[in-house]
Amino acid sequence: EAEVAQSPRYKITEKSQAVAFWCDPISGHATLYWYRQILGQGPELLVQFQDESVVDDSQLPKDRFSAERLKGVDSTLKIQPAELGDSAMYLCASSFAANTGELFFGEGSRLTVL
Amino acid sequence: QKEVEQDPGPLSVPEGAIVSLNCTYSNSAFQYFMWYRQYSRKGPELLMYTYSSGNKEDGRFTAQVDKSSKYISLFIRDSQPSDSATYLCAMSGGGSNYKLTFGKGTLLTVNP
């Protein structure tokens, strides 16, 4: 069964360090999403790609977060410098089309900032 | 007022019970309504997907949407310990307004 792959599953870092997360969506899915989920909260969209183009990054803290999907396939989310409040689960999801709520999520990357 | 309100629970029921999970929303533009299930330390998975008002049934799960009341529900019949998870409601407006808005999630535990 096709899955969204994410790595690393767990990351512990100290504040002010750089951290990066990688996502490989389901093959053929043109739309890719990065969500942040704080413990006890629902996922919140950070950035949405359609192929290699950013469609929505209105909630991405651009002073420290960056995301890219250079070839329209896999994607990287970077945080530099990490802050204590960045501790959360970072979820990648993909969908066949942009105007559907049928998202397929990866298992997530749990970040702890000390 | 948040766009989507969901009681976080936790909700604990005995095996075999009927479970009712609910969300309310304020944005009348929402047309697509979803329920995601999230097991501990895993990503959410889509459970139910409905458009506009009405009911949809899939096995032991029934999703209801009442747009006039801005209220959606998920019912689980004959609940099983394997149903223990966090249930997230999500909704979007469709078309160019397709951004998903999630509720906080309700933590459900089904006790054997």
pLDDT tens by residue, A57-102: 999 999 999 999 988 899 999 999 999 999 999 999 999 877 777 8
CA distance A99 to chain B (A): 5
Q: Give kind and range of the element (H or E) at residue B32.
A: strand B32-38
Q: For residue B1, is pLDDT > 70? A: no
State the pLDDT confidence band at B53, using cuts at 50, 70 and 90: confident
Q: Do B43 and A108 touch (CB under 8 A)?
A: yes
Q: Which two tokens stand for residue A102?
A: 């049928």
As a whole number, the mean pLDDT across chain B is 92
Residue B46: helix, strand or coil by DSSP?
A: strand
CA distance A102 to chain B (A): 7
Amino acid B54: pLDDT:
86
Contacts of A97 in chain B (CB under 8 A): none
As a whole number, the mean pLDDT across chain A is 94
Q: DSSP letter at B102?
A: E
Contacts of B98 in chain A (CB under 8 A): 98-101
State the pLDDT confidence band at A26, using cuts at 50, 70 and 90: very high
Residue B38: helix, strand or coil by DSSP?
A: strand
Q: Do A105 and B43 touch (CB under 8 A)?
A: yes
